[in-house]
Amino acid sequence: MNTATNSRDAAVAHAQRGFDAGEFRATIARRVGIPTESQNPERGPVLRQYLEAEMRPAFEAMGFTCRVLEQAKAKAPFLFAERIESPAATTVLGYGHGDVIRGLDREWHEGLSPWTLTDRDGRWYGRGIADNKGQHSVNMEAMRSVLATRGKLGFNAKYLIEMGEETGSEGLRELCTEHRDLLRADLLIASDGPRLATERPTVFLGSRGSINFDLSIEARAGGHHSGNWGGLISNPGLQLAHAIASIASPTGQIRIPEWVPSELPASVRRVLADCEVDGGADGPAVEPGWGEPGLSPAERVFGWCSFEVLAYKTGNPDTPVNAIPPRAWARCQLRFVVGIDPAQILPALRRHLDRHGFPMVKIATTRETMFTATRIDPDDEWVQWAVASMARTTGKKPAILPNLGGSLPNDIFTDVLGLRTIWVPHSYAGCSQHAPNEHLPPQLLREALGVMAGLYWDLGSGDTPARG
């Protein structure tokens, strides 16, 4: 075995040896213990503490220079770290977020706390272990292992840590626009979201877009006795139910043509052909008859669009009375892929409702951020390079997902910064992120450390696609 191979193997072994010795667990335990709840206004000082006291020293120990960046629209600061080794070298931008959703302390299983990393039944429990502290910690530790083995990265590294992803990444677009030159790179390699399956290394190349909106009917000022007025005045609950039923079939097939792509690209269909959706033992079973007919489960969630009703209310659900309700309301969501014009989603809905006899239904946008759909070509040479590196490290065939089923602010990196984006997730679908009892299997994290150490080693080897 040649020297280069030995050195690459040594970098992978260094990362996993640190894991086996408990060093990585100690790092994660410390970071999980910082309650960085961005949805809690009282945690503002804690968000800054995570950057200043935890992230900055970790990056500086690896020879990065760091700056805390502020943006007027953002409620929390950002940390920018960079290590420039050569102007001629490939430059890679990394990204992660240190904020988490609310801990929901009282809802965790007995003996578990969101702010204490706990081993139980072959899992590590703690808020942020999956989303996203565990994931960016894997990448940072993998870079440290390359530095310890090679003495340098062999590429230029930039990293951006934000503290407001769980509140919609407010200010991120503006920050990237203002600091476009500072963030200039050849590609983005970052980690968030789940693997296709726990045991299968995965890359995804973008994300589905997402838009939330409200549908409502305000029929009159108050309720009226159903015995005296039933059959004489309209029932908003019934009307809104029928309006929603016109949008999708009883099996969830979308009926608005502007809300679905004209076709599934051949490259997308090809990479999804061997992808099986697996939520793990705790995940729900895939229902074969739901969604767009003629598509595999992977094609339905990674290649197509989905419409969901997230909440519905009419009358008084807690104490129903014999009265025709005066109003009805629903919070709805469309997840959409590349090929759907975001600017036409709600106008198309308006035309559809009017055409089907529901002019009384009002459409309103919500405060949630709309994410735009992104996807780079699965045949891109950087994608194939990354997949080959991961396969070399693990001996497994990685899954290639054209985009994440969920949504990320990936369009900021593709459209504002003009980057190819390769996401290497270190979680799995059943991890309970955003819920009580968030966890990850430690063996997944151990493998992820090796994957990223190998990937970063290969980035610095010079055997990469051409820049530009």
Mean pLDDT of 170-186: 97
Number of helical H runs and strand E runs in the chain: 14, 19
Mean pLDDT of 297-325: 96
Structural domains of the chain in order of their starting residue, each with its CATH number: 3-207+372-459 (3.40.630.10), 209-261+305-365 (3.30.70.360)
CB neighbours (10 Å) of residue 398?
Answer: 21
Mean pLDDT of 319-326: 96
Mean pLDDT of 350-367: 97
Q: Which percentage of the chain shows pLDDT scores above 90?
A: 93
- In this prediction, residue 462 carries a pLDDT of 85
- In this prediction, residue 1 carries a pLDDT of 39
- In this prediction, residue 256 carries a pLDDT of 98
- In this prediction, residue 5 carries a pLDDT of 53
Distance, CA of 152 to CA of 40 (rounded, Å): 40
Please state whether 7 falls in left (phi above 0), alpha (psi between -120 and 50) or beta. Answer: alpha
- In this prediction, residue 280 carries a pLDDT of 72
Q: Which of 301-315, 366-380, 439-453 bottoms out in mean pLDDT, i.e. has the lowest?
A: 366-380
For the chain, the maximum distance between any two Cα atoms, rounded to a whole number of angstroms, is 89
Question: Is 311 a residue whose pLDDT tops 70?
Answer: yes
Confidence of residue 2 (pLDDT cuts 50, 70, 90): very low
Mean pLDDT of 65-87: 97
- In this prediction, residue 4 carries a pLDDT of 52
Confidence of residue 417 (pLDDT cuts 50, 70, 90): very high
Bigger pLDDT: 369 vs 21: 21
Confidence of residue 263 (pLDDT cuts 50, 70, 90): very high
Give phi and psi for 51, each to the nearest 5. -70, -50
Q: Which residue has the tokens 């991961």?
A: 390
- In this prediction, residue 468 carries a pLDDT of 65
Question: Is 402 a residue whose pLDDT tops 60?
Answer: yes
- pTM of full prediction above 0.85: yes
Mean pLDDT of 243-263: 97
